[in-house]
A and B are shown apart, each in its own frame.
Chain A
Amino acid sequence: MTCLPKDPTDKKLGLVIDLDICVGCHACAVNCKEWNTAGKSAPLTDYDPYGKKPDGVWFNRIHTYETDDGQGNGTTVHFPRSCLHCEDAPCVTVCPTGASYKRTEDGIVLVNEDICIGCKLCSWACPYGAREYDEAEGVMKKCTLCVDKIYNENLPESSRVPACVSTCPAGARSFGDLGDPDSEVSKLVAARGGIELMPEQGTKPVNRYLPPRPRKKGEEGKAPRMLNHSDDSADGAGLIARWVDKILS
C-alpha cells in the first residue's frame, strides 16, 4: 500500500550527519555498497566496473562543496547524500504498484522489488536523488537503513547500526530514533542546530545534517603555532649525536 501509514508510531529511525566532521573519504559509500550488495536489495549492480565508464547502483554519494560569502570567506564541506526516510515521502505515494512503502513500526522507506515495475516515477518524485534504478534488474533500489543489519540478532549489539555509521572512521554519522526527543541523536541535533534539507519541498525528512560550526575569529581562529624547527641545540640528543655535534660545530 503506497498510502503513508495512517497511525505511524513515534519511532523515526534515521541518521544524523555531522558536516563539521566528515572528511569526504567515501568509506561510508564503500561499506554501504559492500553490505547491501549482499543484503536485502542485493545485488547493487555495477555496469562496466573495470572499463572506461564504470557506473552502478550506490545508496550513498559523497559530494564536496565550496561556499563563498563574497567577502573572502570560504569553506570546504564534504557532504554525504543518502535517503532521508521522509515522513511525507513523495516517492511512496506516487508508486502505482504498492512496491514503495514506509514502515509503520520505524518509518524506514523500502522497495518491494518483487512487485516493482521499474517505472522510475519514485526517482522523479524524490528531490534528494535517493533512489537509483538498477538497469540490470529493472527495478528501483534505495537505502534500506540497513534494515537487515540493525535488527539482526546474529550480530553483536554494537554492530546493529547501518553500515555507513559503523564504518565511518571520523565518527561523522550517528544513527538512532529521531522521534524520541531524549535519544542521543535528538540531543545532538538540538545541541548543534541540526537542519532538514530542502524543507520547502514539504517532504519532512527524518535525517538531519549538522552544519559546520562558525569559524572562530581573531587570535582564537588562527592555526596552532608551528613547532620551532630552528632550534639547533643538541640538548636531549643521544651520546653519539652530541659527540658528532661537538666535533662538527
Chain B
Amino acid sequence: MHPAKSVIFFTTASGAGYGLMVWLALLAALGLVPADQAFGIVGFGLAFALIVGGLLSSTFHLGHPERAWRAFSQWRSSWLSREGVAAVVAFLPLGLFALCWVVMGENRGNAALIGLIGAAMSLLTIFTTSMIYAQLKTIPAWHNGWTVAGYLVLGPMNGALIALLLAQAFGYADAAQLLHRLAVALLVAGLAIKLFYWLRIHGGRVTSTAGTATGLGHLGKVTMSASPHDTDNYLLREMGFRVARKHAAKLRPIAIVAGFIIPFLLLVLTHHAGLGEGGILLALALAWLSCQIGLYVERWLFFAEAKHAVTLYYGEQAI
C-alpha cells in the first residue's frame, strides 16, 4: 500500500495526542498533579495540537476536503465514519476537562471524572482508527488483531513519553515515577506487539492467490504475460507500492531500535545513572525524539509492507 505522508502523520500525531490526554486524566484522577495552570496549558496545548494537527492532515489526502462533514453520516456501517464521530464526540469531555483544569483551576472530583470519560473516548477513537485498517480483508497484513493492539498501545506509549517529559520538567516527582513505569511497560508491550505483528505477516500465511483471483488455479501456476496498460495506473500507484518492500529488512531494525530500544535504554539510564536534573530532561527528550523517528518508520512500513489483493492481478503470486 502507498504510504501517504498525511495519513502517517495523522495516525502517529493523533495517537500521541490522545495518549497524552489519557495520562493527563489519569494524573488528575490519582491526584498526582494539582491543577497547575502552566502545566495544563502546555499539556493540553500539546495534546490538542497533536490531535487537531493530525485530524486536519488526514483531510489533506481527500479529493474533496470541503465535503468532509458528510463522513459523519454512515456510522452504522463504516469504521471511517465511526472514527470521525468518535473524534468529534471526544472533543466535548476533553475540552471541558481542559477548561476545568486551566481556567477554573480544578482537576479533582467531577473534573477528573470528565477527564476519565475523555480518556475513554480517546482510546475509543484510537480503536476506531485501527479498525479502519483491521477490517480490510483485502490486506491480510492488516486484517488481524495485532493491528488493533499496535494502535492501542503505540499511541498511549508515545503519549506517556511526552507526559513523562512534562512531569519531570514541572517537577512532579510522583507523577514522573508512575509515568516512567508506564512508559517502560508500554515500550516493552509495544515492541512485543510489533514483533508478533511482523511474525504474523511474514509467517507465510496465504489468504488469496493469483489462482483464486483469476479462477485459473486449477490449470497450474498463473503468471501475467501481458499487462492491460504500459504505464502505472491508479491501482498500481495506490495499492501496488513496491519500493519499501525491498528495504523492509533494513527498515524494520531501524523502527525497532529507534522506536523502542533506544527510548527504553534512555529511560533506564535516567533511573540508575546519577544524571543531574538537566541530564534527565535531555535523556527524556531524546527518548521521545528517538521514539518519534522509530514510529514514523514503523507506520511507513505498516503501509509499505502491506500487500493488497489487487496486486494478484498484476503479477503477485499470493497475499
Which residues of A are in contact with B by a Cβ distance under 8 Å? 1-4, 19, 24, 26, 29, 53-58, 61-70, 73-77, 79, 81, 90, 92-99, 115-121, 123-129, 132-135, 137-140, 195-202, 209, 211-212
**Can you name 7 A-B residue pairings with CB atoms under 8 Å?**
A53-B231, A58-B228, A61-B229, A79-B214, A97-B73, A124-B138, A139-B63
**Within 8 Å of chain A (Cβ to Cβ): is B37?**
no
Asked if B308 is at the interface of the complex by the 8 Å CB criterion, the answer is yes
A26, A90, A127: residue with the most chain B Cβ atoms closer than 10 Å: A127
Contact A96 B214, CB 8 Å, known A70-B220, A129-B235, A201-B309: no
- In the complex, the answer to whether B215 meets A29 with C-beta atoms within 8 Å is no
A182-B228 Cα distance, complex, nearest whole Å: 34
Q: How big is the B interface, by class?
A: 35 or more
* Contact A125 B136, beta carbon cutoff 8 Å: yes
B74 close to A95 (CB less than 8 A) = yes
B80 touches A124 (CB 8 A): no
Complex-state Cα separation, A69 to B76, whole angstroms: 46
B74 A96 Cβ-Cβ under 8 A: yes
Complex contacts, A53 vs chain B, CB 8 Å: 231
A211, B207: Cβ atoms under 8 Å? no
Are B77 and A93 interface neighbours, CB within 8 A?
Answer: yes
Interfacial chain A residues near B132, Cβ < 8 Å: 121
Question: Which 10 pairs from chain A and chain B are nearest by CB?
Answer: A118-B63, A138-B63, A69-B220, A127-B309, A129-B310, A64-B226, A67-B219, A96-B81, A61-B228, A96-B71
CB pair A197 B214 closer than 8 Å: yes
- B interface vs A, CB < 8 Å? 1, 61-65, 67-68, 70-74, 76-81, 84, 132, 135-139, 207-208, 210, 212-216, 218-229, 231-235, 238-239, 308-310, 313-314
Contact B216 A77 (CB under 8 A): yes
Q: Which residues of B contact A121 (CB under 8 A)?
A: 80, 132
Contact in complex: B231, A212 (CB < 8 Å): no
Complex interface: chain B residues within 8 A of A58 (CB): 228-229, 233
Instruction: Name A198's contact: one of B67, B239, B309 (CB within 8 Å).
Output: B309
- Say yes or no: B239 contacts A124, CB within 8 Å: yes
Identify the closest chain A residue to B308 (Cβ): A124
Q: CA of A128 to CA of B310 in the docked complex: distance in angstroms?
A: 5
Q: How far is the CA of A68 from the CA of B217 in the complex (A)?
A: 10
CA distance A67 to B71 in the complex (A): 44
CB distance from A168 to the nearest CB of B (A): 16
Bound together, the chains give a CA A83 to CA B137 distance in angstroms of 17
Q: For A117, give its contact among B63, B139, B219 (CB under 8 Å).
A: B63
Which residue in A79, A117, A132, A202 is a CB contact (below 8 Å) of B68?
A: A117
CB distance from A110 to the nearest CB of B (A): 15
Question: In the docked arrangement, what's the CA distance between A123 and B310, Å?
Answer: 10
Cα A101 to Cα B213 in complex, Å, equals 24
- A117 with B78: CB separation less than 8 A: no
B214 lies within 8 A of A119 (CB): no
Question: CA of A53 to CA of B231 in the docked complex: distance in angstroms?
Answer: 6
Cα A202 to Cα B79 with chains together (Å):
18
Q: Which listed residue, B67, B76, B232, B309, touches A115 by the CB 8 Å rule? A: B67
Which residue in chain B gives the minimum CB-CB distance to A211? B215
Q: Which residue of B has the minimal Cβ distance to A56?
A: B233
Contact B208 A198 (CB under 8 A): yes
A77 to chain B, nearest CB (A): 6
Q: Report the Cα distance A68→B218, complex, angstroms.
A: 10
* With contact pairs A29-B228, A70-B220, A202-B137 given, residues A195 and B215 touching in the complex (Cβ less than 8 Å): yes
Query: Is the pair A137, B223 in contact by a Cβ cutoff of 8 Å?
Result: no
Chain A contacts for B215, CB-based, 8 A: 19, 195-197, 209, 211
- Compute how far the CA of A198 lies from the CA of B215 in the bound complex, rounded to whole angstroms: 7
Contact B137 A90 (CB under 8 A): yes
Known: A68-B220, A68-B221, A124-B136. A197 touches B239 (CB 8 A): no
**What residues of chain B lie closer than 8 Å to A133, measured between beta carbons?**
63, 234, 238
- Nearest to B73 among chain A residues (CB) is A98
Q: What residues of chain B lie closer than 8 Å to A93, measured between beta carbons? A: 77-78
Q: Are B231 and A197 in contact (CB under 8 A)?
A: no
- Identify the interface centre among B79, B214, B225: most chain A CB within 10 Å of its CB: B214
Is B223 a contact of A97 with CB atoms below 8 Å? no
Name the contact of B221 in the complex, choosing from A26, A70, A76, A201 (C-beta under 8 A). Answer: A70
Among A56, A68, A119, A212, max chain B CB count under 10 A is at A119
CB nearest neighbor in A for B83:
A96
A57 CB contacts on chain B under 8 angstroms: 234
Shortest Cβ distance from residue A165 to the other chain B in the assembled complex, whole angstroms? 19
Find out whether the CB atom of B63 lies under 8 angstroms from the CB atom of A123.
Answer: no
User: Among the listed A56, A70, A200, which residue makes an inter-chain contact with B212, where contact means beta carbons less than 8 Å apart?
Assistant: A200
A43 to B208, CA, bound (A): 34
How far, in whole Å, are A62 and B233 apart by their CA atoms in the complex? 13
Enumerate chain B residues within 8 angstroms of A26, measured Cβ to Cβ.
228
- Identify the closest chain B residue to A209 (Cβ): B215
